[in-house]
Amino acid sequence: MIRSTLIVCLGILLWLLTSTVGLTQAPIHLKLRPERLAKARALEQKAIREKDSLQLAEAWYLFGKTYVFAGDLPTAQAYFLKALHVHEPRGASFELSRLYVRLSETENKLGRFDEALTYAKRAMLVAQQSRSDKDRALVRAYGNMALLYQDHWAGQLRTDTTKFAQVLTYFRQAEAFCYKLNDTLGIAECNMNIGALLVKRLDKQAIVYLKEALRLFALKHKEGIRVNAMLQLAGAYVTFGKPALAYQALQQAEQFYISHKLNEYDLRLGLETSFVNYYTATGQWQAAFDRLKRQHELERSQILADRDGAISRLNIEYDTEKKEALLATQKRELGLRATNLRTQQWLTLAMVGLLLMAIGLLATFFRLNQKNERISRQNAELVKEQNHRVKNNLQVVSSLLSLQASRLTDEAAKQAVEESQLRVQSMAILHRRLYDGEQLALVDLDEFIRELVNGVLITFGCQSASVRFSIDTIYLSADKATPLGLIMNELTTNACKYAFPGNANPQLWIHCRRKGRLVLLDVADNGPGLTEVDVSQLQTDNLLVAKKRTFGLMLIEAQVTQLNGRGHFDSGGKGLGQGTVFSLEFNA
């Protein structure tokens, strides 16, 4: 109680000494940091050259921060409001939320809680609506709200549990987003704020938080806020009766501030205030008076700066500027209205002419489109009719061959004619598929192969054979499907002639898949397979070569060549069976 009374007396004495001469002097500000000014000016010049309003707003924001650090709040507020004029029409964003936080902080420093709270609420709302950097915006908004209420309820937090919990909740919410973003500096700042809050509750856990904050700031080489953490820690030591540690922390903070040439108003004021508190707590009244005088000089500069309501006028000027811009726009619109009326008449006539031209062109295009569709339908019908006729002709040829085979008595000749009939039949199936299918010039390979193989099996009376199909959805053109159909006809015929007779459980595997542009076909049976001599005769560099070149093998070789593919026989393997395996690959 005695110490508090002495501080008040010292302050009154100092005010009486300076009030008669101080109010006529200009505000005292710290020197501006040249590197900060240079960065802001460079960005401003670049934005003007490129006519980029967003870059210009960012330059003004940097100017505002620079003047805040120097303690010139009116100038800082002016720059923040200029940046706000650019960002507000663009809607919610991280930059807009950040500006509202800065405006709230400035109003709070000037002791205008209601205005500061209004800006803080706007910052929170914009942060929640922002689509980019939402979490970073929320960190700033929650942290600012906590600091605002902490300053406003400074004398009540020790006894009012509800208000203390509300401030702590805001800090915890900001801390949660910092951990989510893996933001080390944000986590450090939250630790420092929570530590300072716990000091007000006389909770010694505050020292742990403040030390951790100081460690993280040192790790990230953040000089300014590192000094602030030192001052908070010194204040905690004073509160908890550790004056030696408090003085050591204050000395380190001041030396660090001087050696790094920080020259920031808030830090300088914080240093003087912390020394006053320390010297008062330890009974060093002369030293406390000297520091209090320095503190008073800094605070007096802020009082003088706002003496004539400079900050308040900035908000009015901002609203006035928007109204004046609106009036200027209306005047320009009135000036252009007469010209627009004349122009609209000519434009109306031009639009009518263009509309008539467009209607004529649309009618012409409509007729041409109908004509093209009619021609396309006719062509499609012609192609289908052609396929139909080719299919009918092949059916006729197949029937003739069937009649011829029935009249032959030589089994070898009869078998040759029947095999030729099957080859013709395979081509007839293909053209029927082209005629009946939904695709005009393409055939569904799955349906085509199934019908062809089943037809051969019925012809040779091998309906009991088990056929396992595994065919991908592949569409082939007629010039590819024709040789493939002939190959499948020959392979199925060979299976019926050589693999199935005497086989108690005849089986046939047909696998066809697509790999990129390649079509891969494997046909296997479970017959006796090929001898090593047969294989060596049938497989040479993936070409079908045999000493005894039967017509079927020659036909298969010719069709493989027509497909520009590679085919070979093998005996067993590939997981398909233990009989004869034929593999083919070609480009679709």
CATH of the domain at 533: 3.30.565.10
| Window from 168-172, 312-316, 529-533 with minimum mean pLDDT | 312-316
Confidence check: pLDDT of 186 > 70: yes
Label residue 544 by pLDDT band (50, 70, 90): very low
Residues 276, 293: Cα–Cα separation, whole Å: 10
> How many domains does the chain contain in total?
1
**Of 11, 32, 28, 80, the residue nearest 305 (C-alpha):** 28
Label residue 57 by pLDDT band (50, 70, 90): very high
Q: What local confidence, expressed as pLDDT, does residue 540 receive?
A: 43
Residue whose structure tokens are 């405006």: 103
Residues 171, 348: Cα–Cα separation, whole Å: 63
**Of 512, 514, 515, 536, the residue nearest 524 (C-alpha):** 512
Confidence check: pLDDT of 37 > 80: yes
| Window from 182-196, 242-256, 407-421 with minimum mean pLDDT | 407-421
Region for 467 from its dihedrals, namely left if φ exceeds 0, alpha if ψ lies in -120 to 50, beta otherwise? beta
Enclosing domain of residue 488: 465-587
**Residue 420 domain flag:** no
| Window from 9-18, 183-192, 282-291, 395-404 with minimum mean pLDDT | 9-18
Percent of the chain at pLDDT > 70 equals: 74
**107-142: string of b/e by CB count within 10 Å (b at 16+)?**
bbbbeeeebbbebbebbbebbeebeebbbbbbbbbb
**Residue 513 domain flag:** yes
CA–centroid distance for 543 within its chain:
53
Confidence check: pLDDT of 26 > 50: no
**193, 143 in Cβ contact below 8 A?**
yes
Confidence check: pLDDT of 405 > 80: no
Q: What local confidence, expressed as pLDDT, does residue 287 receive?
A: 85
Residues 197, 191: Cα–Cα separation, whole Å: 10
- Tokens linked to 226: 């590192």
Average pLDDT across the chain, whole number? 80
Label residue 586 by pLDDT band (50, 70, 90): very high
**Residue 441 domain flag:** no
**74, 314 in Cβ contact below 8 A?**
yes
- Assessment of whether the complete model's pTM goes beyond 0.85: no
585 forms beta bridges with: 520, 566
Confidence check: pLDDT of 521 > 70: yes
Give the three-class secondary structure for 585.
strand
**Residue 560 domain flag:** yes
- Tokens linked to 360: 């004529």
**Residue 141 domain flag:** no
Residue whose structure tokens are 């029409």: 89
Confidence check: pLDDT of 382 > 70: no
Q: What local confidence, expressed as pLDDT, does residue 221 receive?
A: 84
**Residue 489 domain flag:** yes
**248-272: string of b/e by CB count within 10 Å (b at 16+)?**
ebbebbbebbeeeebbbbbbbbbbb
